[in-house]
């Protein structure tokens, strides 16, 4: 409607102008090079209008003639791009289906048509991966890092390739660059934290952890456990350097991050004891034993009474057992103390309690020892040993959730496969 009104208004103005000129024709005389032309104003204006139209048409014709080669090359380039992107799409589909030959052929075709390694790099890298060509993969991933749109995929691909080749340092560097570009990418934060923790790059790992927390890259429980692992690593490093005060601070922070993280609690208690703060160590161990009983805690509790007599040690272990009577580890530790003090009846009582709670080989072996030490009854001792072979359950140990390796001691990384934070007490 608006366009119609504008058109009518312009038409009206043009008609009014034409009528006005017709009523006032005027005269125009042109003299040039001995020529003379006499005409009216409307005729002169009409001639000028025709001349302008002719010049415009001539200009378009000239541009069309001279621009034809450029348009032809542009059309050819567009056609190549269209074919190149079609080959790229088909190649990605072939890579997803695992067709190595078709992927390689389409990757070469897309590379030739598009002539942009940063664009075709992913497909070419996938083709190289299917064929096992690591050098070609590296070249393509490196080319992808030079383009903003594909830099993340390039760095991530370089990290995965470095891991495949066993280059942990190179993988850590590439993963860090990829993480800077896309912190929220699935699995990237966990991979980078594993590599940094494994290398003992504690400050870098803590920075990665802070970014991962802001971007919700990991669940809250994983964030807490990973921070505890990092802080425990810093504590052990400080302790190795002789800085016990700093080690204690790190161990306590690890406990605060994950209140059930037994290795950090045990270390903090031992450091408290070394600094003459036995009450704080005892309080820390007792509260932890109530929540999560563990042999590390009973061992640290036993060390608090280093140098005391056998009966005093029994009293000390009784105090810990009272904190959590349902914990078999406490009863076993108390039975061992009672055996050392030759309190046979008390040792039997707590061993039978532990046997009901968790019949491990260690409990059967201690019962056999009671028979030998108290009654010199080798037959009864042998009977307990036989029962251990048939009735005992596996002794709990630090087990790697990645490879299943059993370790007697806790470590930040699995001694067998190197997986970070996968050792669990089972």
Please state the rounded mean pLDDT for residues 393-422.
90
Nearest alpha carbon to residue 315 among 351, 283, 346, 274: 346
Q: Which pLDDT score, from 0 to 100, does residue 171 have?
A: 95
pLDDT per residue as tens digits for the range 234-284: 999 999 999 999 999 999 999 999 999 999 999 999 999 999 999 999 999
Q: Which two structure tokens, joined as six digits, stand for 113?
A: 């048509």
Please state the rounded mean pLDDT for residues 186-206.
94
pLDDT per residue as tens digits for the range 23-48: 666 666 777 777 776 677 676 667 77
Please state the rounded mean pLDDT for residues 223-234.
95
**Better pLDDT: 84 or 149:** 149
**Highest mean pLDDT pick, 16-20, 108-112, 179-183, 405-409:** 179-183
**Highest mean pLDDT pick, 113-117, 141-145, 257-261:** 257-261
Nearest alpha carbon to residue 295 among 334, 245, 348: 334
CA dist 200 and 426 (Å) reads 26
Nearest alpha carbon to residue 369 among 400, 348, 393, 354: 348
pLDDT at position 11 over 60: yes
Q: Which pLDDT score, from 0 to 100, does residue 229 have?
A: 95
pLDDT per residue as tens digits for the range 360-401: 999 999 999 999 999 999 999 999 999 999 999 998 999 998
At 294, phi and psi to the nearest 5? Answer: -160, 145
């Amino acid at each position: 409607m608006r366009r119609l009104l504008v058109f009518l208004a312009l038409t009206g103005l043009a008609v009014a102008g034409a009528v006005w000129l017709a009523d006032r024709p005027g005269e125009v005389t042109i003299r040039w090079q001995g020529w003379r032309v006499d005409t009216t104003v409307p005729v002169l204006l009409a001639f000028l209008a025709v001349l302008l139209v002719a010049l415009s048409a001539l200009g378009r014709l000239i541009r069309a003639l001279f621009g034809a080669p450029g348009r032809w090359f542009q059309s050819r380039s567009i056609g190549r791009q269209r074919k190149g992107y079609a080959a790229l799409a088909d190649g990605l589909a072939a890579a997803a289906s695992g067709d190595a030959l078709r992927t390689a052929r389409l990757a070469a075709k897309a590379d030739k048509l598009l002539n942009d390694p940063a664009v075709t790099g992913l497909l070419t890298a996938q083709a190289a991966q299917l064929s096992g060509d690591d050098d070609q993969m590296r070249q393509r991933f490196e080319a992808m890092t030079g383009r903003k749109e594909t830099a993340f995929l390039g760095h991530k691909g370089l990290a995965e390739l470095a891991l495949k080749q066993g280059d942990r340092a190179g993988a850590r560097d590439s993963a860090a660059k990829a993480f800077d570009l896309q912190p929220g990418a699935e699995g990237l934060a966990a991979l980078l934290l594993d590599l940094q923790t494994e290398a003992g790059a504690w400050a870098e790992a803590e920075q990665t952890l802070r970014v991962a927390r802001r971007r919700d890259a990991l669940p809250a429980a994983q964030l807490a456990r990973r921070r505890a692992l990092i802080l425990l690593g810093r504590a052990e490093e400080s302790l190795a350097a002789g800085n016990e005060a700093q080690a204690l601070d790190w161990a306590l922070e690890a406990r605060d991050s994950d209140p059930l993280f037994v290795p950090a609690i045990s270390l903090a208690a031992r450091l408290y004891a070394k600094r003459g703060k036995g009450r704080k160590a005892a309080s820390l161990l007792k509260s932890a034993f109530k929540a999560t009983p563990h042999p590390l805690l009973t061992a640290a509790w036993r060390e608090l009474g280093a140098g005391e007599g056998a009966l005093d040690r029994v009293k000390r272990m009784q105090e810990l057992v009272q904190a959590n009577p349902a914990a078999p580890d406490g009863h076993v530790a108390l039975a061992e103390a009672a055996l050392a003090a030759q309190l046979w009846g008390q040792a039997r009582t707590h061993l039978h309690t532990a046997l009901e709670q968790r019949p491990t080989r260690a409990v059967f072996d201690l019962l056999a020892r009671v028979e030998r030490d108290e009654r010199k009854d080798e037959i009864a001792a042998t009977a307990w040993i036989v029962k251990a072979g048939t009735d005992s359950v596996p002794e709990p140990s630090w087990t790697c959730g990645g490879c299943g390796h059993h370790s007697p001691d806790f470590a930040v990384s699995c001694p067998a496969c190197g997986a970070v934070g996968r050792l669990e007490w089972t």
